[in-house]
Amino acid sequence: MRKVIYSMGVSLDGFIADRDGGIDWSGPGEELHRFHNEQARAAGVHVYGRRLYETMRYWETAEENPASTPVEIEFARIWTRTPRLVFSRTLERAEGGAELADGDIEEVVARLAEQPGGEIAIGGAGLAAAFVERDLVDEYRLFVYPIVLGAGTPFFPSLGARLALRLLETRTFPSQVTYLRYARERAR
């Protein structure tokens, strides 16, 4: 079965966006961007909420931007080849090769998990929170930036119970960003 992965840049105090929704503090350096590219290659499908889908649409035309670096162009090519599924209550249709999700989160994840292919990469604070609350995430991948935001959008939603995790991997990049990869510990 395919694993569900939740991966985001996060401040030291646990926020994925600042109090105004800004993520300008989380731009990756070249080595970190190459690492993101490798992770993007492992994704069999990207599952987004509406806002992140709209933000990520930039990559549809990144190759045409003369300011794009080779590593950014590489990411754009990987990203445009990967299927994208969007959960939205407001969009009538998705564009740029993406599709709107048909069904509730549990149904869609069950259907995707049974299909062959790479990881199910989820993104977007609201959608990811719904996955976490339903205990659908198999791995959490945090890119911890050396910044304290004080407030903003949290990586983890408020939960009614503990979430047991097992550390699988750590790595520190020259930019001082630390990668933490955890697996969900399931009751036996």
Per-residue confidence (pLDDT) for residue 170, from 0 to 100: 98
Q: Is residue 185 part of a domain?
A: no
Give yes or no for residue 94 having a pLDDT over 80.
yes
Q: Is residue 95 part of a domain?
A: yes
Q: Is residue 51 part of a domain?
A: yes
Q: Is residue 8 part of a domain?
A: yes
Q: Is residue 167 part of a domain?
A: yes
Task: Give the number of domains in the chain.
Answer: 1
Residue 169 domain boundaries: 4-13+27-176
Q: How confident is the model at residue 140 (pLDDT cuts 50, 70, 90)?
A: very high
Average pLDDT, the chain: 93
Give yes or no for residue 188 having a pLDDT over 80.
no
Q: Is residue 187 part of a domain?
A: no
Q: How confident is the model at residue 103 (pLDDT cuts 50, 70, 90)?
A: confident
Q: Which of 165, 159, 96, 87 is nearest to 126 (CA)?
A: 87
CATH code, domain with 66: 3.40.430.10
Radius of gyration of the chain (CA): 16
Side chain identity, residue 34: R
Q: How far apart are alpha carbons 137 and 105 in whole angstroms?
A: 12
Q: Is residue 91 part of a domain?
A: yes
Model confidence pLDDT, tens digit, residues 49-93: 998 899 899 999 999 999 999 999 999 999 999 999 999 989 989
Q: How far apart are alpha carbons 154 and 47 in whole angstroms?
A: 19
The pLDDT > 90 percentage for the chain reads 84
Q: Which of 186, 174, 183 is nearest to 32 (CA)?
A: 174
Model confidence pLDDT, tens digit, residues 142-167: 999 999 999 999 999 999 999 999 99
Q: How confident is the model at residue 122 (pLDDT cuts 50, 70, 90)?
A: very high
Per-residue confidence (pLDDT) for residue 97, from 0 to 100: 86
Q: Is residue 81 part of a domain?
A: yes
